[in-house]
Structure formats: C-alpha cells, structure tokens
Amino acid sequence: MKYKMKLKSEPFIKIANGNKTIELRLNDEKRQLLKIGDTIEFTNLENGETLCVQIKELIKYPSFEELYKHVDKLSIGYQKDEPANPNDMDKYYSKEEQQRYGVVGIKIKRIEDKTILKGNK
C-alpha cells in the first residue's frame, strides 16, 4: 500500500540525505493502517518536492516520552550535540492526542532517488 504524508522542509531534507531514518507520528487511525513493506510518499510542504520510502519497522509507544527512551536521537533527526526532548513533539500533537492514540516511530528506508535538493548536487 502507498500512503502520502507531508513534512516541513527540515525533516524532509534529513530523510532525503539519509540522516533521519525514523519519522515520528501520532498513531491515529491513518497510521494504524501502516504495515511493514508499505510505501510512504513524503511531500515537502515548502517546495512540493517528493520522496518515497519503504516502512521497515513500526515502533509503537503510549507517548513520545516513552519512545524517546528507546530510539537513537540521531535516527529521529537530532544532531549529535543537540539534546533530544520529547516535548518538541507537543507543537505537532497535544498530550491529549498522544494519550488517546499513542505514538509510532516509522523506521524507513529511501527507495527512490529522484529528489534533487538545492545545494546537495
């Protein structure tokens, strides 16, 4: 199955460059349909570029706080010298939503190489 999701430019570029290998989402009704082997087409909200990834693993937890305890911060988009703070996800999903649905880390692998990022030729 193929799904479409939108991303801001910074996480999009990190996935495109292979620096971010786990996308974090609320485990709502849409994400509950995801299966290992499915494809996700991410669209960069700022410029419309797209890239496709394959789902390698689904890591489910009741909250981002719990998920952050079990994943490498580099894999979710943080820099080596940057502190990983699960509260960063509160700007996207409320604590109430997290409590209602839980969260999912979508471990991904890039499967297309048609995206050309400005400045990364």
Question: Would you list the domain boundaries of the chain?
Answer: 2-110
Please answer whether residues 40 and 18 qualify as being in contact, where contact means their C-beta atoms are separated by less than 8 angstroms.
no
Phi, psi for 56 (deg, rounded to 5): -100, -30
Closest CA to 57 of 107, 2, 111, 110: 107
Q: What is the pLDDT of residues 20-61, one digit of tens each?
A: 999 999 999 999 999 999 999 999 999 999 999 999 999 999
pTM for this entry: 0.89
Tokens 């999701």: give the residue. Answer: 5
pLDDT, one tens digit per residue, over 67-97 is: 999 999 999 999 999 999 999 999 999 999 9
Superfamily of domain 2-110: Hypothetical protein. (2.30.130.30)
Structure tokens at 84: 């990983």
Q: Give the model confidence (pLDDT) of 91-119 as tens digits.
A: 999 999 999 999 999 999 998 555 445 44
